[in-house]
Structure 1
Amino acid sequence: MSDRQFPSSAKQELRSFAFLAIVVAPVLAVGIIAAYGFLVWFYQMFSGPPHV
């Protein structure tokens, strides 16, 4: 087996970028927002709703 690196083609780079931009970024954004919402909900279970 050789450890030689092959240069990636423009087509592979475009496919990787499209996957990251169309799939990974939105899933990550939704996950982070959902996790924050869950933390706020969980915190308010013990501390009560915000007082204005």
Structure 2
Amino acid sequence: MDTGTGQRGKRRELLLFLFITVVLFPLLSVMIVGGYGFAVWVYQMFAGPPGPPAG
């Protein structure tokens, strides 16, 4: 393997790492937290808000 191919592979690996850490993981975490919040919201529409039972 010549040095040109090795340098190109390292650059691509670095760019992929930066994409995963700067774009993909934050986006996934926002989507997961938002999806959980949406699921709780839908559940509370049918089951009512949390708290002691009325009566």
Class of the TM-score when normalised by the shorter of the 2 chains = 0.7 to 0.9
Give structure 2 stretches of 5+ with no counterpart. none
Deviation at 1:28, TM superposition (A): 0.5
For normalisation by structure 2, the TM-score amounts to 0.76
For normalisation by structure 1, the TM-score amounts to 0.80
Identity %: 45
Greater radius of gyration (CA):
2
Alignment length (residue pairs):
47
**Stretches of 4+ moved more than 2 A in 1?**
none
Give structure 1 stretches of 5+ with no counterpart. 1-5
Aligned alpha-carbon RMSD (Å): 1.8
Higher helix share: 2
